[in-house]
Amino acid sequence: MTREQLLEKVKTSRPSVTVVGLGGAGCNITTWIADKKLAGGKIIGANTDASHLSTMTHADKLMLLGEKLCKGHGCGGFPERGSEAARENMAEIKAELKDTNLLFLVAGLGGGSGTGAIPVFAGVGREMGALTIACVTIPFTIEMTRREKARDSIKALAENCDSIVVIDNSKLREVAGNLPLKEALAVANALVGSFVKNITDTITQPSLINLDYADLRAVMERGGISSIGIGEGDGASRVEKAVSQALSTPLLDITDISNAYGVLIHIVGGEDLTLEEVAVVGEQIMEKVPNTKRVIWGAKVDPGLAGRVRVMAVLTGVTCPFLDVGLRPAPQLPKEVVKPLREAMEHMARAQDVSYPRETISRAAVFSKEK
């Protein structure tokens, strides 16, 4: 193979990513992502509400769902209408998702359009063989009946998704403080949005440590519920602070983090982020989640973050008392699914052209050893 052919291969083998925002909340979240620029992914806004959809100025494609059924108005909180509306657009949905490898479906559950349409899109995604990840919020405890509705729809969604990343709006207070509703929702939008953007960026763009599509598949494809925790730290113990915050305030109540099926760790730091710090993040998180070998990494330098470290930990296949969704039977997994940290760090060291501290190497070797 010539170098040109190889470069062409790199280009064509890059996974294609599609992000679909469904319903009012879903479209608001994808607008956040589009504003931050999503390199290497296509953004689709889909809603039954024409007027809300028209506010999505940066999407690559807008889909008015159920034009005949809803006539450009919303679904008034009825998910059955949302499903029927989406089915009206089936041919268009199939055409848009045709070549997608990684599909993010984003919605705020509890209303009609997003809640009803998301399982329809998920069904198409799975049928097309895409790794299908739903990213949803569940309503505040005060929205009682909406919350019940959201719970039912997650059960239905589990049939067709590889993973469902859930953020409970009620948990936002713990991370964001007692904010007025509009601001609390904006925090939720930023959280779901950064999850989607972080993964897409590290898969499609050269990063410090690249997340690999096959690895992502290994931690996400068995389904179930995933919970996200985020943390940020500065000063001498910035890594410890960021990790303990990320693990102590998951955005969904889960019973036991030590039993997670897989872990995805994403680290962002300024130019001063060191290899040692990246290793310490891994070590601390893996101490808390000792029962899994499925741990994948992404790390990125953001020059605007000087002095600080930001950690996002995604725990997949967790148990949540409110949701009661289990894992699907195990697929044929490759024997070694843990991306060896040592390999990743060697790559990182080469990219940064720094020499490798001895202590870090031995630590990394511990991570990559089969447990």
Ligand X SMILES: Nc1nc2c(ncn2[C@@H]2O[C@H](COP(=O)(O)OP(=O)(O)OP(=O)(O)O)[C@@H](O)[C@H]2O)c(=O)[nH]1
Q: Which residues bind ligand X (CB under 6 A)?
A: 23-25, 28, 48, 74-77, 108, 110-115, 137, 139, 143, 146, 169, 185, 188-189
Between 22 and 318, CB nearer to Mg ion: 22
Partner from Mg ion, ligand X, none binding residue 220, C-beta < 5-8 Å depending on class: none
| Shortest distance in whole angstroms from residue 244 CB to ligand X | 26
Q: Which does 114 bind (CB under 5 to 8 A by kind): Mg ion, ligand X, none?
A: ligand X
Q: From Mg ion, ligand X, none, which one binds at residue 139 (CB under 5 to 8 Å depending on kind)?
A: ligand X
How near is the Cβ of 47 to Mg ion at its closest, in Å? 6
Least distance from C-beta 37 to ligand X, angstroms? 20
Among 197, 196, 147, residue whose Cα is nearest residue 323:
147
Residue type, 37: K
Q: How far is CA 58 from CA 17, 34, 39, 69, in A?
A: 16, 6, 13, 26
Of 99 and 148, which has the nearer Cβ to ligand X? 148
* Residue 361 identity (one-letter amino acid): I
The DSSP H or E segment spanning 139 is none
Please state, in angstroms and rounded to a whole number, the distance separating the CA atoms of residues 29 and 21.
Answer: 7
Judged by beta carbon distances under 5 to 8 A according to partner kind, the member of ligand X, Mg ion, none in contact with residue 76 is ligand X
User: In the bound complex, what is the minimum distance in angstroms from residue 231's beta carbon to ligand X?
Assistant: 20
- 48 binding partner (options Mg ion, ligand X, none; Cβ < 5 to 8 Å by kind): ligand X
E strand spans, the chain: 17-22, 41-47, 61-64, 102-108, 131-138, 163-168, 225-234, 262-269, 295-301, 308-318
Please, what's the b/e burial string for 66-96 (b: 16 or more CB within 10 A of its CB; e: otherwise)?
beebbebebbebbbebbbbbbbbbeeebeeb
In the complex with Mg ion, the residue whose CB is nearer, 134 or 203, is 134
> Quick one: what does residue 277 bind among Mg ion, ligand X, none, with the CB cut-off 5 to 8 Å set by partner type?
none
Q: Taking the complex as a whole, how short is the minimal distance between the CB of residue 263 and ligand X, in angstroms?
A: 24
Place of tokens 């290994």: 218
Query: 145-150: which pairs have CB atoms within 8 A and are 24 or more residues apart?
Result: 146/77, 146/109, 146/110, 146/111, 147/110, 149/79, 149/109, 149/110, 149/115, 150/109, 150/110, 150/115
Shortest reach from residue 148's CB to ligand X, in Å: 12
Residues that bind Mg ion in the complex, under the rule CB under 5 A: 24, 49, 74
Supply the minimum distance, in Å, between the C-beta of residue 172 and ligand X: 9
Alpha-carbon separation of residue 337 from 174, 216, 225, 341, 356 (angstroms): 34, 10, 20, 12, 25
- Of 137 and 319, the one with the shorter C-beta distance to ligand X is 137
110 binds, among ligand X, Mg ion, none (CB under 5 to 8 A by kind): ligand X
Rounded-to-integer distance, Cα 78 and Cα 85, Å: 11
Query: Which residue lies nearer to Mg ion by CB, 24 or 110?
Result: 24
Residue 138: closest CA among 47, 218, 243, 225: 225
Query: In the complex, what is the shortest distance from the CB of residue 220 to ligand X, in angstroms, rounded to a whole number?
Result: 21
Around Cβ 342, how many Cβ atoms within 10 Å? 20
Residue number, 80 or 276, with CB nearest to ligand X: 80
Nearer to ligand X, 7 or 144 (CB): 144
- Of the pair 28, 226, the CB lying nearest ligand X is at 28
Q: Which does 143 bind (CB under 5 to 8 A by kind): Mg ion, ligand X, none?
A: ligand X
> What φ, ψ does residue 100 adopt, rounded to 5°?
-80, 135
